[in-house]
Amino acid sequence: MPKESIIRTSVFEYNDIKACPSDIQQLMDKAVIAREKAYTPYSQFKVGAAIRLENGKIVTGSNQENASYPSGLCAERTAIFYTGAQYPDQKIKSIAITATGTDKENTEPVPPCGACRQAIAEYEQKQKSPIAVYFMGKSGQVKMVKSLLSLLPLAFSEQYLK
Ligand code: THU
């Protein structure tokens, strides 16, 4: 029999965004505003992300779609790549994400996709400190992990490259 390892991960829940710390409420408000700017003619599914840096600055992004579908990009990566490009020396403290369909309203928290988890994990590795991830649907309930790695156990990283 192969040896089994159990991997534990912690996800925290707030029944409502109003129960989150005030700086997170403020960050999520920015994510909601960013969500409204999403360009989604194909999916009608709007996602907003807001990133808080160590210096207090907030960077936002939304999903940007394309007629050549794979050329589009998720909100989280739009925001984090812009952050990496504009503020390469600033540590990222947290990211707030909100997502909802325009036809179907998402009431439950919508977690980031696998590709975005991988992208956020890269910046955790780079800055050597955890990034808290908060995610919500259209409004209401919020889920949170204290580190991206709680959403991506056994993450691939640069340690395997060299
Ligand atoms: N999307 C995001 O922006 N973030 C995610 O984590 C999941 C999916 C976008 C991509 C596409 O524009 C739409 O949502 C439907 O997949």
The residue whose CB lies within 8 Å of the most ligand 1 atoms, and thus the one to mutate among 36, 43, 80, 135, is 43
Break the chain down into helix, strand, coil percent, rounded to 5: 35, 25, 45
CA distance 129 to 63: 26
pLDDT score recorded for residue 158: 93
How far does residue 76's CA lie from ligand 1's centre (Å)? 9
Is residue 103 scored above 90 in pLDDT? no
Q: Evaluate whether residue 120 is within a structural domain.
A: yes
Domains identified in the chain, total number: 1
| pLDDT tens digits for range 31-79 | 999 999 999 999 999 999 999 999 999 999 999 999 999 999 999 999 9
CA distance 103 to 84: 33
Residue 92's domain spans which residues? 12-156
CATH code where residue 149 lies: 3.40.140.10
- Could you identify the residue written with the tokens 């403020």? 26
Is residue 126 scored above 90 in pLDDT? yes
Pure H helices in 5-61: 22-36
Give the residue numbers annotated as catalytic, written as ranges. Answer: 76
Is residue 19 scored above 90 in pLDDT? yes
Ligand 1 neighbours, Cβ below 6 Å, are 40, 43, 45, 47, 63, 65, 72, 74-76, 112-113, 116
Q: Residue 55, Cβ neighbours under 10 Å: how many?
A: 10
